[in-house]
Chain A
Amino acid sequence: MAALRAAVLALAVAAAPAAESHLLEGARLFRAEQYAAALVEFRVAAALGAQEALWYSAASLLKLGRAEEAVEGFAEAAAAAPAARDGLLDYYRAQACHALRLYLCADALLASVAEQAGPRIGGHARTMRAAIAAELVPDRLPAAIDWYLARGRELAARRPLLAAAYLEEAAGLGLRLTSAYRRQEALDALAKLRGAPPSGKR
Protein backbone atom coordinates (compact mmCIF):
# COMPACT_ATOMS: atom_id res chain seq x y z
CA MET A 1 0.00 0.00 0.00
CA ALA A 2 2.85 2.36 0.82
CA ALA A 3 4.44 1.67 -2.55
CA LEU A 4 1.14 2.42 -4.29
CA ARG A 5 0.83 5.70 -2.47
CA ALA A 6 4.33 6.69 -3.41
CA ALA A 7 3.73 5.77 -7.03
CA VAL A 8 0.53 7.82 -7.21
CA LEU A 9 2.24 10.82 -5.72
CA ALA A 10 5.26 10.53 -7.97
CA LEU A 11 3.07 10.24 -11.05
CA ALA A 12 1.01 13.27 -10.10
CA VAL A 13 4.04 15.41 -9.41
CA ALA A 14 5.91 14.29 -12.49
CA ALA A 15 3.04 14.57 -14.96
CA ALA A 16 1.49 17.78 -13.75
CA PRO A 17 4.22 20.32 -14.41
CA ALA A 18 4.96 18.91 -17.87
CA ALA A 19 1.95 20.46 -19.60
CA GLU A 20 2.39 23.60 -17.56
CA SER A 21 5.99 23.98 -18.67
CA HIS A 22 4.99 23.60 -22.32
CA LEU A 23 2.34 26.27 -21.87
CA LEU A 24 4.85 28.62 -20.31
CA GLU A 25 7.35 27.95 -23.08
CA GLY A 26 4.60 28.49 -25.63
CA ALA A 27 3.75 31.81 -24.00
CA ARG A 28 7.38 32.88 -24.16
CA LEU A 29 7.67 31.93 -27.83
CA PHE A 30 4.37 33.58 -28.70
CA ARG A 31 5.54 36.73 -27.00
CA ALA A 32 8.73 36.56 -29.08
CA GLU A 33 6.56 36.20 -32.22
CA GLN A 34 7.86 32.68 -32.88
CA TYR A 35 4.42 31.34 -33.58
CA ALA A 36 5.36 28.08 -35.29
CA ALA A 37 7.43 27.00 -32.31
CA ALA A 38 4.74 28.23 -29.90
CA LEU A 39 2.20 26.12 -31.78
CA VAL A 40 4.30 23.00 -31.17
CA GLU A 41 4.49 23.76 -27.44
CA PHE A 42 0.77 24.35 -27.16
CA ARG A 43 -0.01 21.16 -29.04
CA VAL A 44 2.22 19.15 -26.76
CA ALA A 45 0.55 20.75 -23.73
CA ALA A 46 -2.87 19.85 -25.11
CA ALA A 47 -1.76 16.30 -25.81
CA LEU A 48 -0.57 16.09 -22.21
CA GLY A 49 -4.04 16.97 -20.98
CA ALA A 50 -4.14 20.77 -20.75
CA GLN A 51 -7.22 21.27 -22.92
CA GLU A 52 -6.98 25.01 -22.45
CA ALA A 53 -3.92 24.90 -24.69
CA LEU A 54 -6.24 24.33 -27.65
CA TRP A 55 -7.22 28.00 -27.45
CA TYR A 56 -3.61 29.08 -27.69
CA SER A 57 -2.89 26.64 -30.52
CA ALA A 58 -5.72 28.26 -32.46
CA ALA A 59 -4.40 31.74 -31.70
CA SER A 60 -0.96 30.65 -32.96
CA LEU A 61 -2.53 29.32 -36.17
CA LEU A 62 -4.18 32.69 -36.72
CA LYS A 63 -0.86 34.47 -36.28
CA LEU A 64 0.67 32.06 -38.80
CA GLY A 65 -1.94 33.14 -41.35
CA ARG A 66 -3.74 29.79 -41.22
CA ALA A 67 -7.20 31.18 -40.56
CA GLU A 68 -9.16 28.11 -41.68
CA GLU A 69 -7.31 25.88 -39.24
CA ALA A 70 -7.67 28.58 -36.59
CA VAL A 71 -11.46 28.62 -36.98
CA GLU A 72 -11.50 24.85 -36.61
CA GLY A 73 -9.12 25.03 -33.66
CA PHE A 74 -11.22 27.60 -31.85
CA ALA A 75 -14.32 25.45 -32.37
CA GLU A 76 -12.50 22.48 -30.86
CA ALA A 77 -11.25 24.59 -27.96
CA ALA A 78 -14.72 25.94 -27.23
CA ALA A 79 -16.03 22.39 -27.04
CA ALA A 80 -13.15 20.99 -24.99
CA ALA A 81 -12.42 23.87 -22.60
CA PRO A 82 -15.34 26.32 -22.62
CA ALA A 83 -14.43 27.77 -19.24
CA ALA A 84 -11.10 29.04 -20.53
CA ARG A 85 -12.77 31.39 -23.00
CA ASP A 86 -12.27 35.10 -22.38
CA GLY A 87 -12.50 38.41 -24.20
CA LEU A 88 -8.98 38.29 -25.58
CA LEU A 89 -9.38 34.78 -26.97
CA ASP A 90 -12.71 35.79 -28.45
CA TYR A 91 -10.94 38.68 -30.16
CA TYR A 92 -8.47 36.28 -31.77
CA ARG A 93 -11.33 34.00 -32.77
CA ALA A 94 -13.21 36.94 -34.27
CA GLN A 95 -10.13 37.82 -36.29
CA ALA A 96 -10.00 34.26 -37.63
CA CYS A 97 -13.68 34.45 -38.63
CA HIS A 98 -13.10 37.84 -40.23
CA ALA A 99 -10.20 36.51 -42.27
CA LEU A 100 -12.55 33.88 -43.77
CA ARG A 101 -15.23 36.51 -44.43
CA LEU A 102 -17.39 35.00 -41.71
CA TYR A 103 -18.57 38.42 -40.64
CA LEU A 104 -21.58 37.42 -38.57
CA CYS A 105 -19.38 35.01 -36.65
CA ALA A 106 -16.86 37.80 -36.08
CA ASP A 107 -19.51 40.32 -35.12
CA ALA A 108 -21.13 38.06 -32.53
CA LEU A 109 -17.77 37.51 -30.85
CA LEU A 110 -16.75 41.14 -31.05
CA ALA A 111 -19.96 42.21 -29.34
CA SER A 112 -18.82 40.54 -26.15
CA VAL A 113 -15.19 41.53 -26.66
CA ALA A 114 -16.14 45.21 -26.68
CA GLU A 115 -17.57 44.77 -23.20
CA GLN A 116 -15.08 42.31 -21.67
CA ALA A 117 -11.69 43.28 -23.05
CA GLY A 118 -9.52 46.23 -22.10
CA PRO A 119 -9.69 49.65 -23.77
CA ARG A 120 -7.26 48.86 -26.62
CA ILE A 121 -8.81 45.55 -27.69
CA GLY A 122 -12.27 46.90 -26.97
CA GLY A 123 -11.55 49.82 -29.29
CA HIS A 124 -10.39 47.45 -32.04
CA ALA A 125 -13.57 45.44 -31.57
CA ARG A 126 -15.78 48.50 -31.95
CA THR A 127 -13.89 49.56 -35.09
CA MET A 128 -14.33 46.12 -36.64
CA ARG A 129 -18.02 45.96 -35.75
CA ALA A 130 -18.69 49.31 -37.39
CA ALA A 131 -16.96 48.18 -40.59
CA ILE A 132 -18.90 44.90 -40.62
CA ALA A 133 -22.22 46.69 -40.10
CA ALA A 134 -21.47 48.95 -43.06
CA GLU A 135 -20.71 45.95 -45.29
CA LEU A 136 -23.78 43.85 -44.50
CA VAL A 137 -26.24 45.75 -46.71
CA PRO A 138 -29.27 43.71 -47.77
CA ASP A 139 -28.84 43.95 -51.54
CA ARG A 140 -25.45 42.23 -51.37
CA LEU A 141 -26.54 39.42 -49.09
CA PRO A 142 -28.11 36.95 -51.57
CA ALA A 143 -24.90 36.57 -53.60
CA ALA A 144 -22.94 36.18 -50.38
CA ILE A 145 -25.36 33.54 -49.10
CA ASP A 146 -24.96 31.60 -52.35
CA TRP A 147 -21.20 31.64 -51.86
CA TYR A 148 -21.30 30.58 -48.20
CA LEU A 149 -23.66 27.71 -49.00
CA ALA A 150 -21.49 26.51 -51.85
CA ARG A 151 -18.35 26.74 -49.73
CA GLY A 152 -19.99 24.92 -46.82
CA ARG A 153 -21.17 22.10 -49.03
CA GLU A 154 -17.81 21.81 -50.68
CA LEU A 155 -16.13 21.34 -47.29
CA ALA A 156 -18.79 19.20 -45.62
CA ALA A 157 -17.19 15.82 -46.25
CA ARG A 158 -13.61 16.84 -45.51
CA ARG A 159 -13.73 19.51 -42.84
CA PRO A 160 -17.05 19.46 -40.98
CA LEU A 161 -16.14 22.13 -38.41
CA LEU A 162 -15.20 24.59 -41.11
CA ALA A 163 -18.20 23.65 -43.23
CA ALA A 164 -20.47 24.32 -40.26
CA ALA A 165 -19.02 27.80 -39.86
CA TYR A 166 -19.84 28.67 -43.47
CA LEU A 167 -23.32 27.15 -43.29
CA GLU A 168 -24.07 29.01 -40.05
CA GLU A 169 -23.02 32.21 -41.77
CA ALA A 170 -25.41 31.50 -44.65
CA ALA A 171 -28.25 30.74 -42.26
CA GLY A 172 -27.56 33.85 -40.19
CA LEU A 173 -27.46 36.14 -43.20
CA GLY A 174 -30.66 34.59 -44.50
CA LEU A 175 -32.35 35.71 -41.31
CA ARG A 176 -31.52 39.30 -42.20
CA LEU A 177 -33.63 39.19 -45.33
CA THR A 178 -37.40 39.25 -45.23
CA SER A 179 -37.42 36.44 -47.78
CA ALA A 180 -35.13 34.34 -45.51
CA TYR A 181 -33.21 33.65 -48.71
CA ARG A 182 -31.96 30.00 -48.73
CA ARG A 183 -31.96 29.94 -44.94
CA GLN A 184 -33.80 26.64 -44.77
CA GLU A 185 -31.30 25.08 -47.16
CA ALA A 186 -28.47 26.18 -44.93
CA LEU A 187 -30.21 24.84 -41.82
CA ASP A 188 -30.89 21.52 -43.53
CA ALA A 189 -27.28 21.22 -44.59
CA LEU A 190 -26.19 21.99 -41.04
CA ALA A 191 -28.52 19.38 -39.61
CA LYS A 192 -27.20 16.81 -42.07
CA LEU A 193 -23.64 17.75 -41.18
CA ARG A 194 -24.22 17.40 -37.45
CA GLY A 195 -26.17 14.19 -37.81
CA ALA A 196 -23.39 12.52 -39.73
CA PRO A 197 -20.50 10.93 -37.86
CA PRO A 198 -17.40 13.13 -37.76
CA SER A 199 -15.12 12.35 -40.66
CA GLY A 200 -12.00 14.20 -39.49
CA LYS A 201 -10.59 17.49 -40.51
CA ARG A 202 -8.65 16.48 -43.56
Chain B
Amino acid sequence: MRVRGYPSELVRRAVAPVVVLLVLVLPGPARAQAQGQVSPATRAALHDALDLNAPAPPRAPSLPDARTPLTPAPQAPSSSAAVDQAKGAAASQGAKDGRQNQVDAANRVAQEAAGASAHGADASSDAAAREVKGGQAKMNGGKGKGPPPNPGNSNH
Protein backbone atom coordinates (compact mmCIF):
# COMPACT_ATOMS: atom_id res chain seq x y z
CA MET B 1 0.00 0.00 0.00
CA ARG B 2 1.33 3.46 -0.85
CA VAL B 3 1.19 6.11 1.89
CA ARG B 4 0.42 9.60 0.63
CA GLY B 5 3.49 11.88 0.67
CA TYR B 6 6.02 9.08 0.53
CA PRO B 7 7.96 8.28 -2.61
CA SER B 8 6.68 5.45 -4.62
CA GLU B 9 8.40 2.11 -4.48
CA LEU B 10 9.58 2.62 -8.03
CA VAL B 11 11.33 5.89 -7.19
CA ARG B 12 12.94 4.46 -4.08
CA ARG B 13 14.19 1.47 -5.97
CA ALA B 14 15.70 3.72 -8.59
CA VAL B 15 17.35 6.21 -6.25
CA ALA B 16 18.68 4.03 -3.46
CA PRO B 17 21.24 2.12 -5.52
CA VAL B 18 22.59 5.36 -6.96
CA VAL B 19 23.14 6.78 -3.48
CA VAL B 20 24.80 3.58 -2.30
CA LEU B 21 27.02 3.52 -5.37
CA LEU B 22 28.07 7.14 -4.92
CA VAL B 23 29.04 6.51 -1.29
CA LEU B 24 30.84 3.23 -1.93
CA VAL B 25 32.42 3.80 -5.30
CA LEU B 26 33.60 7.41 -5.21
CA PRO B 27 37.08 7.71 -3.77
CA GLY B 28 37.66 10.03 -0.82
CA PRO B 29 38.84 13.10 -2.75
CA ALA B 30 36.09 12.72 -5.31
CA ARG B 31 33.47 12.42 -2.62
CA ALA B 32 34.79 15.52 -0.87
CA GLN B 33 34.82 17.39 -4.15
CA ALA B 34 31.29 16.29 -4.95
CA GLN B 35 30.29 18.01 -1.72
CA GLY B 36 32.14 21.16 -2.78
CA GLN B 37 34.97 20.49 -0.36
CA VAL B 38 38.65 19.82 -0.66
CA SER B 39 39.95 16.53 0.69
CA PRO B 40 42.09 16.66 3.84
CA ALA B 41 45.13 15.34 1.96
CA THR B 42 44.92 18.11 -0.63
CA ARG B 43 44.35 20.72 2.02
CA ALA B 44 47.40 19.46 3.89
CA ALA B 45 49.50 19.75 0.72
CA LEU B 46 48.27 23.30 0.17
CA HIS B 47 48.86 24.24 3.78
CA ASP B 48 52.35 22.80 3.66
CA ALA B 49 53.21 24.77 0.50
CA LEU B 50 51.90 28.03 1.95
CA ASP B 51 53.63 27.47 5.25
CA LEU B 52 56.94 26.75 3.53
CA ASN B 53 56.81 29.98 1.54
CA ALA B 54 55.08 32.23 4.05
CA PRO B 55 56.48 35.75 3.72
CA ALA B 56 58.62 37.13 6.50
CA PRO B 57 57.42 40.27 8.30
CA PRO B 58 57.62 43.18 5.87
CA ARG B 59 59.46 46.44 6.33
CA ALA B 60 58.25 48.77 9.04
CA PRO B 61 54.81 50.25 8.38
CA SER B 62 54.52 53.82 7.23
CA LEU B 63 51.22 55.68 7.30
CA PRO B 64 50.41 57.58 4.12
CA ASP B 65 50.19 61.35 4.23
CA ALA B 66 49.62 64.28 1.89
CA ARG B 67 52.89 63.57 0.06
CA THR B 68 52.03 59.95 -0.65
CA PRO B 69 50.97 59.40 -4.27
CA LEU B 70 47.42 58.11 -4.53
CA THR B 71 48.30 55.63 -7.24
CA PRO B 72 50.97 53.20 -6.10
CA ALA B 73 54.03 52.55 -8.21
CA PRO B 74 53.94 49.35 -10.29
CA GLN B 75 54.83 46.38 -8.14
CA ALA B 76 57.53 43.99 -9.23
CA PRO B 77 57.43 41.21 -10.17
CA SER B 78 53.96 41.81 -11.49
CA SER B 79 52.89 40.44 -14.84
CA SER B 80 51.10 42.53 -17.43
CA ALA B 81 47.37 42.89 -17.73
CA ALA B 82 47.48 40.96 -20.99
CA VAL B 83 49.09 37.96 -19.34
CA ASP B 84 46.63 38.20 -16.51
CA GLN B 85 43.60 38.32 -18.75
CA ALA B 86 44.90 35.35 -20.67
CA LYS B 87 45.23 33.38 -17.45
CA GLY B 88 41.69 34.21 -16.39
CA ALA B 89 40.35 33.33 -19.80
CA ALA B 90 42.13 29.99 -19.65
CA ALA B 91 40.65 29.24 -16.26
CA SER B 92 37.08 29.94 -17.24
CA GLN B 93 37.45 28.41 -20.66
CA GLY B 94 38.94 25.29 -19.15
CA ALA B 95 36.03 24.95 -16.78
CA LYS B 96 33.57 25.29 -19.62
CA ASP B 97 35.14 22.90 -22.00
CA GLY B 98 36.37 20.17 -19.72
CA ARG B 99 39.73 18.62 -19.06
CA GLN B 100 40.97 18.20 -22.60
CA ASN B 101 40.13 21.72 -23.55
CA GLN B 102 41.82 22.95 -20.39
CA VAL B 103 45.02 21.78 -21.97
CA ASP B 104 44.20 23.81 -25.07
CA ALA B 105 43.29 26.78 -22.93
CA ALA B 106 46.57 26.42 -21.08
CA ASN B 107 48.38 26.45 -24.39
CA ARG B 108 46.61 29.65 -25.29
CA VAL B 109 47.73 31.13 -21.97
CA ALA B 110 51.29 30.27 -22.79
CA GLN B 111 51.05 31.71 -26.28
CA GLU B 112 49.29 34.90 -25.20
CA ALA B 113 51.64 35.37 -22.28
CA ALA B 114 54.61 34.96 -24.58
CA GLY B 115 52.99 37.37 -27.03
CA ALA B 116 52.43 39.95 -24.33
CA SER B 117 56.06 39.93 -23.37
CA ALA B 118 57.16 40.10 -26.99
CA HIS B 119 55.10 43.26 -27.45
CA GLY B 120 56.83 45.48 -25.00
CA ALA B 121 55.80 44.07 -21.66
CA ASP B 122 58.39 44.58 -18.97
CA ALA B 123 60.95 42.05 -17.80
CA SER B 124 58.81 40.84 -14.97
CA SER B 125 55.91 40.02 -17.25
CA ASP B 126 58.33 38.19 -19.45
CA ALA B 127 59.40 36.13 -16.49
CA ALA B 128 55.77 35.46 -15.63
CA ALA B 129 55.12 34.41 -19.21
CA ARG B 130 58.01 31.97 -19.08
CA GLU B 131 56.74 30.58 -15.83
CA VAL B 132 53.27 30.08 -17.20
CA LYS B 133 54.62 28.61 -20.38
CA GLY B 134 56.85 26.19 -18.55
CA GLY B 135 54.11 25.19 -16.16
CA GLN B 136 51.56 24.59 -18.85
CA ALA B 137 53.97 22.73 -21.07
CA LYS B 138 54.51 20.43 -18.14
CA MET B 139 50.76 20.02 -17.83
CA ASN B 140 50.81 18.79 -21.40
CA GLY B 141 53.52 16.27 -20.64
CA GLY B 142 52.44 12.72 -21.38
CA LYS B 143 49.41 13.87 -23.29
CA GLY B 144 51.24 14.40 -26.57
CA LYS B 145 49.73 17.83 -27.08
CA GLY B 146 50.87 21.40 -27.04
CA PRO B 147 54.20 23.06 -27.67
CA PRO B 148 57.29 21.85 -25.85
CA PRO B 149 58.86 24.05 -23.19
CA ASN B 150 61.31 26.58 -24.50
CA PRO B 151 64.11 26.86 -21.96
CA GLY B 152 66.26 28.64 -24.52
CA ASN B 153 64.07 31.73 -24.27
CA SER B 154 65.69 32.97 -21.09
CA ASN B 155 68.56 35.11 -22.27
CA HIS B 156 67.69 38.15 -20.14
A residues neighboring B (CB under 8 Å): 1, 5, 8-9, 12-13, 15-20, 23-31, 33-41, 43-44, 46-52, 56, 59, 62-68, 84, 86, 88-89, 91-92, 95, 98-101, 103, 118, 120-121, 124, 127-128, 131-132, 135-136, 140-141, 143-144, 146-148, 150-151, 154
Contacts and interface: CB of A to CB of B under 8 A. Distances in A.
Which range contains the number of B residues in contact with the other chain? 35 or more
Contacts of B70: 147, 150-151, 154
Interface centre among B48, B83, B106, B135 (most CB of A within 10 A): B135
Interface centre among A16, A17, A100 (most CB of B within 10 A): A16
Interface in B112-134: 128, 131-132, 134
The 5 closest A-B pairs by CB, nearest first: A37-B135, A47-B95, A43-B91, A16-B30, A16-B33
A116 B92 CA distance: 34
Contacts of A26: 46
B131 A147 contact: no
Given A46-B91, A131-B61, 11 more contacts: A1-B14, A16-B30, A27-B46, A31-B52, A35-B131, A36-B87, A40-B87, A49-B33, A84-B38, A135-B63, A147-B70
B39 interface: yes
A36 B31 CA distance: 29
Interface centre among B56, B88, B95 (most CB of A within 10 A): B95
A59 B30 CA distance: 25
A154 B27 CA distance: 50
Interface in B12-37: 14, 17-18, 21-22, 25-27, 29-34, 36-37
Interface in B37-85: 37-39, 42-43, 45-58, 60-66, 68, 70-72, 75-79, 83
B68 A147 contact: yes
B33 A20 contact: yes
Contact of A37 (B31, B56, B72, B136): B136
A131 B61 CA distance: 7
A9 B95 CA distance: 19
Nearest to A20: B29
Contact of A92 (B21, B30, B50, B63): B50
A20 B39 contact: yes
Contact of B58 (A31, A41, A98): A98
B36 A49 contact: yes
Contact of B55 (A17, A28, A49, A63): A63
Contact of A17 (B14, B29, B52, B61): B29
B84 to A, nearest CB: 8
A1 B12 CA distance: 12
Given A40-B136, A95-B55, A9 B22 contact: yes
Contacts of B88: 43
B105 to A, nearest CB: 8
A113 to B, nearest CB: 10
A149 B94 CA distance: 39
Contacts of A124: 54, 56-57
B4 interface: no
